[in-house]
Amino acid sequence: MGVAVLELSGIHKTYREGEIRRPVLSGLDARFEAGRVSAVLGRSGSGKSTLLNLVSGIDLPDAGRVLLDGRDLTRLSDRERTLHRRAHIGFVFQFYNLIPTLSVEKNVLLPLDLLGVAPAAARRRVAELLAAIDLGERGRSFPDALSGGEQQRVAVARALVHAPGLVLADEPTGNLDAATGAEILQLLCAMSRAAGATLLLVTHSAEAAASADRCFRIEDGALREIPPSSP
């Protein structure tokens, strides 16, 4: 069994809607290992987004522990969680979330700037990644000059530029056609595995989940492991 960079233990999360308390996660346990891709499937409202928010430290569980790189996020202050997230987690979103007023190069540079990486080293790292995603000549372009697939390639590079231990991908192919989505997913999985990062992929697509090493379905507040090829 590989080294676990992310462990969830006894996670409970309930939201209040007016006078009603709606449980979303109930005693959830999971272990995600370094260098492996795990996919999480689930219907709308099943708790997929809640899971990502808890794993990233954006939100806190009502009970339970979230261990990332050996640190319990539930015991950190808001600022400590922000700094930990900035240094150790990369994000890929469905709608790319690139900053339109920044060039491709500066979008990818942003995580390194926030971490205070020396400018020369940061530019070298960005150049390496842009070459790896076949956009080495587009560093000075702006996001609106790129196709959707190209923008998502930039988003993948931005997520990995600071060598995070954990990459969270929220429906990364949901805004792309099937062929482009498959290419992006292959790129994201290959680059994450090569970097030794843990990739947690939230998706509604069984085809996307089939690319994972492990696959889970979230239902009744818990995670149930299923074969990656299951619908």
- pLDDT (tens digit per residue) in 16-48: 888 888 889 999 999 999 999 999 998 888 889
CA distance 73 to 36: 21
Q: Which helix (H) or strand (E) holds 113?
A: helix 104-114
Take residue 114 and report the two structure tokens written for it. Answer: 């926030």
Does 163 reside within a domain?
A: yes
DSSP-assigned letters across all residues of 176-188:
S-HHHHHHHHHHH
CA distance 200 to 37: 6
pLDDT of residue 231: 47
Contact by Cβ (8 Å): 196, 162: no
Does 49 reside within a domain?
A: yes
Contact by Cβ (8 Å): 74, 149: no
Q: What is the CATH number of the domain that holds 41?
A: 3.40.50.300
Does 166 reside within a domain?
A: yes
Span 63-70, average pLDDT:
92
pTM for this model (two decimals): 0.93
Domain count, the chain: 1
Does 23 reside within a domain?
A: no
Does 87 reside within a domain?
A: yes
Query: Which residues form the domain of 143?
Result: 35-62+77-226
Does 25 reside within a domain?
A: no
Distances in Å between the Cα of 168 and the Cα atoms of 52, 84, 102, 145 are 7, 14, 23, 26
Where does the pLDDT of residue 189 fall: very low under 50, low under 70, confident under 90, or very high at 90 and above? very high
For residue 193, pLDDT beyond 60: yes
Segment 87-109, tens digit of pLDDT? 999 999 999 999 999 999 999 99
Q: Which residues contact 51 (CB under 8 A, 6 or more apart)?
A: 25, 28, 40, 202, 218
Segment 114-141, tens digit of pLDDT? 999 999 999 999 999 999 999 999 999 9
